[in-house]
Amino acid sequence: MFTPIKIGTMEIKNRFVMPAMGTNLAEPDGEAGERLISYYTERAKGGFGLIITECTAVSEEGRSLLHECGMWDDRFISSYQKLTDSVHAAGAKIVVQLRHCGRETEPKYTNGKPILAPSQIPCPSCQSMPHEMTTEEVYQMVETFGDAALRSKKAGFDGIELHAAHGYLIAQFLSGHANKRTDEFGGSLHNRMRFLALVLRDIRKKVGEDFPIIVRISGSEMITGGRTVQETKAVCRMCEQEGADAIHVSIATYGSMSYCIGPTYLDPGYETEAAAAIKKSVAIPVITVGRYTDAELAESAVLDGAADLVAFGRQSIADPHFPNKVLQDKEDDIIPCMSCEQGCIMHLFSDEPISCVVNPKNGPEELYISNPTAQPKYVVVAGGGPGGLQAAWIMAARGHRVELIERENHLGGAFLAAAYPPSKSPIAKVLGYLIRQCKKYGVEITLNQELTLDSIRERKPDAVIVATGSQNLVPPIKGLNQAKVLNPCDVLLGKAVTGKRVLVAGGGLIGAETASFLAEQKREVTVIEMKDGIAEDLDPYGRPLLLEELKKQDVRCIRNGQILEFLPDGVIYRNTLKEDSKPQVLDGFDSIVLALGTRNYNPFGEELKQVVNEVYVIGDAKKAEKVYAATHEAVEVAMKI
């Protein structure tokens, strides 16, 4: 991974690639400002040999982000020259990804201009009806790509990456799923490849032979009627013949978005197989991508001949200095990505700047400890979940004396239990990192101790951070007090053992993943949920994969089922879709797991403010929600104390 390699005339110092990922960090007009420049420069400082900037629109209607980078006008050259100069000074090569999103956008992003596509077929995800490009408009778009490439060269980029993956405009022309044209740009694979071939020729004519071109392509589109790996191999050979210098292989389109995003339900390196197939068909370098978070896995992919370079997407957001830490044998200091999508993907699609659960400021560790406190304080942190751990290490690193008190016999809180379902092991990596950070900076950790107002009064701290998390919600349903229900966290952590037949009451994320965990252990599991959908509180990219897993595990899911009463071995419920539905009995279970939600848990209330001058309540102790809130609130508090 640390062996230099050449892509065309560009020599890269190692095989670590930061791939293009939208950030919403560009200026509103598409130019590169200080936030964007700082973001990429930090990753250059962190050791990535090649940085590929996020999608950069070749024309105004080709955007699909609120703050998308632009290269459709000469005015962009100056600001992006500042970006390339900064990245070069930090020791990396930088390539711009040129893209037109085609039909995969919405009117709010195109500034009132028509949405373009090869055929008048809406995107399965965005669903806006596009304008079918005329033959003349297609030839004009060829020139548009070439002009954007020339501007990129003038702005100091070392090369370009053409985005022909994930169902964007070039991919739409390549795909029989999206392209139903009858002119020279549709029909046979030869004709569907014509647009990309002409774009490559126009770019090469305008930028010369010494400017590398990478083509990003989906090995398989993962949709009915879409392009397969076999077709993609032919496309990639054509790209090589037309002067492409490397191929960057991923998979999927917006119609199979889960495989674009890569939630934890997909294996690390899940796209490598497609890259390996294409690697056999071309002589130019191949880049692979897809949930790479460990250098060892990347090293294996290169040594096996599956690819020549490896792209670390969200891992480069979580830790911009990932390659340097690997090189310096500091793996324990790596900030791990857990593929949760809460700060990156979900923010991006909510038109917000990206962030990260584990690394809220998208920067190096030094960002949190670069402002040591002038007035060291004694701070007590109540609770050792992710929020408490995050706050504790940052405060200790800044020079405060920090004591973290946890009532359980382990750190991590309910977040540790969340690591136990089959696909959630990355959570354990995150907790391990936070615990190591606490030990590294001298946090005093005490387990098996319940803090009270009196014990806090005895300690006389200057400040207290309440990070006591949440409790299982126990609603006032008849029979619940008599039923021997189990807590899902206790089940996941092995503190409670279920029988053979298990009823999970509640089909949110906690209930669904607990059901998957139990089904893997050969339990016969039924889930009952009052809403119409299972795991509706999970992001829309991970949810289809979890539902597919539950189906494979034969987990029975009863939707629209309102529990009226708990029985010793089941429940009485009614169908909420039918006003006159009669109560039904669901019984014969050995165990019942109660997963009807959580509520905030703050055992101190307002009284704590009478004991300590500075009191901060963070995370689930304030409001039960996703872990993103806990770690971000932790950073905010820890930086200001």
**Catalytic residue set:** 168
526: how many CB neighbours lie within 10 A of its CB?
19
Give the separation between CA 328 and CA 320, rounded to whole angstroms: 14
Q: For residue 329, give the DSSP letter.
A: T
Give the separation between CA 150 and CA 205, rounded to whole angstroms: 10
For residue 523 the two structure tokens come to 């339990």
Give the separation between CA 36 and CA 31, rounded to whole angstroms: 9
Give the separation between CA 98 and CA 152, rounded to whole angstroms: 9
Phi, psi for 81 (deg, rounded to 5): -65, -35
**Cβ-Cβ contacts under 8 Å for 501 (sequence gap 6 or more):** 523, 524, 526, 588, 589, 590, 591
- Give 347-399 as a 3 state SS string: HHCCCCCCCCCCCCCCCCCHHHHCCCCCCCCEEEEECCCHHHHHHHHHHHHCC
For residue 498 the two structure tokens come to 């279920």
Side-chain half-sphere exposure of 284, counting CA atoms within 13 A: 24
β-strands 570-575, 584-586: how paired? antiparallel
Long-range contacts of 543-551 (CB under 8 A, 24+ apart): 544/258, 545/258, 545/263, 545/265, 545/266, 546/265, 546/423, 546/512, 546/513, 546/516, 549/265, 549/422, 549/423, 549/516, 550/512, 550/515, 550/516, 550/519
Spatial strand order in the sheet of 501-505: 485-486, 591-594, 501-505, 524-528, 556-558
Residue type, 492: L
Report CA-CA distances (Å) from 630 to 332, 351, 407, 419.
23, 21, 18, 17
Beta pairing partners, 403: 380, 444
Which of 280, 263, 278 is closest to 539 using CA atoms?
263
Give the separation between CA 507 and CA 533, rounded to whole angstroms: 8
> Is the Cβ–Cβ distance between 252 and 259 less than 8 Å?
yes
Give the separation between CA 306 and CA 293, rounded to whole angstroms: 17
